Structure 1
Amino acid sequence: MKILEKDLKKLVREADLTELRERGFPVALPSKRIKDLRVGNYGSVDMIFVDRVDGHFNISLFFFKEGKIGLSAFLESIKLRRGMERYLRKRTGAIKERMKIRIYLIGNEVDTSGRFCYLTDIYCDIGFYIYSFDLHGVSFKESRGYYLSDEGF
């Protein structure tokens, strides 16, 4: 079942973090949740979660898609990741080595028509998550490990 992007954002924005994690949402506990943050002229991040471990900041940028997760959404998220890095450095003097920024793209499926779907197996700072919605609510599942159906060997 599909749900609107704005409704998906609202569900995640208002849900208890522990319950979200139990439903497969990739959030560390405890985390600070920041909603709809504008990153200068780079654009807006749908949601950000920040946690701190041993003096290092883990920053998770979330981008919600109503439909397929595709190349254009990925490229937009890369631009916003760079904007976030620049913003933090300029506003707080944050040192790049003390922060880890991850990108999470969440949609109802991943575009597997090209080579795009292989990114998560090469870059560990990117995660694709598929949402599903049923009588019990929304749940999330990581999507990775793609391969050709006919590998030729």
Structure 2
Amino acid sequence: MQIWLVSPLTSILLWSILLAVFVVVEMATVNLVTVWFAVGSLAALISSAFTRSLLVQVVVFLVVTAVALAVSKPFMDKARHMRPAAPVGLERNLGRQATVVQPVRPELPGRVQLDGVDWTAVCETGLAEGDLCIVTGISGTTLRVEPMRQPAHSTEV
């Protein structure tokens, strides 16, 4: 079994290089592709301080990698599917309420205000100044809006 014995410097170099490669690949992909291998490499690097046996170091690498993968993967999958990605850019305005500041006619765009910003708006029905509307779409810098449905008024007895 002499073949599996290596010098401490060789072990440190081997596991340090592998650790660096796995970390660089993980940073480049950011998809949790090699993070488990990096953890295994770190464990093998630490084990190289206690044994010269490359076989033991490889077993430590494989076991720690497998355990890290088995323990963390279910949590990562659950976190990834827990909530949908937040809308970004103009998409975050969809479904939001705006106020008409210049009448909107079916054949003529008007203006609405959303978060203090004036937007050009189009609507299939007419909207008067001061009406509330809901943003249903975005085309360039023009919002598609619909009249806000008013809740049915209940009659008090």
TM-score range, shorter chain: under 0.3
- The structure richer in helix per residue is 2
- The structure richer in strand per residue is 1
Q: Which has the higher contact order (CA 8 A, sep 6+)?
A: 1
Q: Which TM-score applies when normalising by structure 1?
A: 0.27
